[in-house]
Structure 1
């Protein structure tokens, strides 16, 4: 972070402070474990914690000041009405010190992998900051913005949400110069009511954009394809096949863990290679290519960035363990991401006699639509090359119902009430040569099944 003075910070957060204010601050933190000398500590309150309880400790550890909602004994407090609002306002002020391209990315599913693909492309021409991990909320996003340095040339910032208004606050903080919406699915439909409600919430990403910031959209998404942003804002569309879109794919070929295709755009035809499984990554590449075009990047650099992309963490991380191919995708789950995972499982090569096995759990926050959406995923499994289905959770039985409807062998489907029962069954069944896909919402903790294997 580039240093700010306490006086500057006090003015931005509209706080009161009774100490010398010409002192320079070198970082902002919300966790006492991350405190360094010369930082400002912001005391946030959550369901299970209150940062005010650590304000005095933060001062002892070297914080130049703590931003609080009330005076704290033995702490150098900048008192504000809301520490959460202060964090967003201060991050927005800091972000606007830098005239750099900032790409805001949101969507029901795929926003993290799309963010990673865009960052991989931009890194070929810019020193690029990106959101790390799941820091896409009203705490993580502003803390990411404080990582912008003097030599940062671009940033790719992910924006997540559960309710109306959240994307708006994130966008007004980050001020994107390009906005990207990957799709409109069913994630958080329990809170947002309908897909139209989800679209409305995602379109809030434009609230913090300047009038000339383009909106990059997935032209294959039925809701996004027909969207008309207010004020005549320019849209840039991408598609797996539609020649009417600004960027579209053709000549797609898959060979195990490698996908080749041509990307068609105003720059001509660009051959690219994606070095990972999953046809959904084609859409990620198209989105990244569209962003690169907006920034005037060369097609050669964009192709290099796409080829360099690798998924990691618990998101379609493919590992070999004891002769078993593990496709670990336990971070989150929604119908579209489940279907993407089925595509990956179908592409993975298995040894002679090996089987493709789906180990799946409930998709959470689906509300009243849960049975229908789980059945929809089951139908996709039913017409895939999957050989066996192991699942657990309240709604997981609908996976089996959908699969059997499409002709899947009922004797190859197994439903369990608990994760422990699932674990024992999978351990007893899986053998070297098999490919096993693990997918479920984060709260289902399927990674514990992975660890048991």
Structure 2
């Protein structure tokens, strides 16, 4: 069997990893990962033909030359290789997790720190047991600070990711009603996310905490953390901030006890205030002046359909359909209800991975939508469809059905919230808005 040290020597020759034969990087190491419906050992030869230097496999029958490197388990080898690479890096690594706002917070922190440092941040949402190793292996020697996003849908996952990323600093954005099925309810969510706190306690790392969030304060106390940096809306925090405006873009007043400052952003949604404050706090901790912090925030343009305000030919659309859970859905409805617009519409898709809580959570969101003062509400998906007898909204089982309706009944001169779980593929509706 090939050792991690030998794999690392091969990795250093090209510093590239591939896991998909359709996107092979020339000279890379191809890791033949397995999934529920595929076994990439079967495609190792194709990976080599497409330009990979070596194929890492875990089934001996596929080893037909020295370019096939046999390991006990390909996924474990990838994770061990990432750990080995991480051990060579003597830099701050900020581990970031939470139920909502992970990716936006990661992007904001990166936008701020990049004003002074050579940074690396998780690309997209490569934040799971495969994505985190790939992210770590993408960090080069010139990087001064890394921001690693860590996602989870069950307990012990953050614990595993911490052993790979080995964060020196950490932040939990919040805990909410997300992945309830895998975590076993809200208390399970708290327990799972707190695995980051447990790691930082064990390694004597630094933790950034929103002091306004009672759940995070409770979790940090239980973990016995002692290197704490607080942000929030009250005095006594390292960074104190106030939401000045959020209609439609967020403006924040803040102080670090020495200097008062204000910043206008391109983010919509008052729920992003705490994500902005977190980025300010982290920038301040890393010795950045207010001008540089504000410049990073002001220059950040939201993308990836998270809190993204888009002007179409007919409407203003809040594109927030990358994903959804009850906490983020409720926050999005609260946000559109206070924005200034003559006409408002919400198009909401089902929320996934809620387990036994699904029916009650969809009912609560439907009720909130009915009470939000919207001019029109459109629900899409089988879970929301259970409330189809309510005359205050339109109900469709699929996005295709909703698209047909929108083509026949175009919405004009509205502010539209478009939000649902990723699997609903609500981006297909944007062309009709």
CA distance in 1: counterparts of 2:387 and 2:208, whole angstroms: 33
Structure 2 CA distance for partners of 1:427 and 1:37, relative to 1, 3 Å: closer
Aligned to 2:351, which of 350, 363, 372? Answer: 363
Aligned to 1:117, which of 105, 108, 111? Answer: 108
CA distance in 1: counterparts of 2:315 and 2:304, whole angstroms: 18
State the TM-score, normalizing by the size of structure 2: 0.90
1:208 is displaced (CA, Å) by: 5.1
Structure 2 CA distance for partners of 1:37 and 1:444, relative to 1, 3 Å: closer
Whether the 8 Å contact between 1:389 and 1:412 is mirrored in structure 2 is yes
Structure-to-structure mapping, 1:218-367, within 5 angstroms: 218-227=210-219, 228=221, 230-239=223-232, 241-250=233-242, 252-254=243-245, 256-346=247-337, 348-350=339-341, 354-367=342-355
Q: Is the aligned partner of 1:374 residue 2:354?
A: no
* Structure 1 SS opposite 2:132: helix
The answer for unaligned runs of 5 or more in structure 1 is: 1-8, 402-409
Q: Is the aligned partner of 1:53 residue 2:42?
A: yes
Moved more, 274-283 or 31-40: 31-40
Aligned to 2:55, which of 54, 60, 66? Answer: 66
Residues 307-361 of structure 1 show CA distances to partners (whole Å, capped at 9, x for unaligned) of: 12221122232222222112222211112211332244345554xxx52100001
* Structure 2 SS opposite 1:396: helix
Structure 2 CA distance for partners of 1:230 and 1:435, relative to 1, 3 Å: closer
* Structure 1 SS opposite 2:189: helix
CA distance in 2: counterparts of 1:379 and 1:292, whole angstroms: 40
The answer for unaligned runs of 5 or more in structure 2 is: none
User: Root-mean-square deviation (CA), in Å?
Assistant: 2.7
CA distance in 1: counterparts of 2:261 and 2:287, whole angstroms: 15
State the TM-score, normalizing by the size of structure 1: 0.86
Whether the 8 Å contact between 1:376 and 1:399 is mirrored in structure 2 is no
Q: Is the aligned partner of 1:391 residue 2:371?
A: no
Structure-to-structure mapping, 1:14-163, within 5 angstroms: 24-71=13-60, 72-75=62-65, 76-163=67-154
Structure 2 CA distance for partners of 1:14 and 1:201, relative to 1, 3 Å: farther
Structure 2 CA distance for partners of 1:412 and 1:376, relative to 1, 3 Å: closer
Residues 286-305 of structure 1 show CA distances to partners (whole Å, capped at 9, x for unaligned) of: 11112122222222211211
* Structure 1 SS opposite 2:45: helix
Moved more, 255-264 or 328-337: 255-264
1:431 is displaced (CA, Å) by: 3.0
Q: Is the aligned partner of 1:430 residue 2:410?
A: yes
1:255 is displaced (CA, Å) by: 5.8
Structure 2 CA distance for partners of 1:131 and 1:26, relative to 1, 3 Å: closer
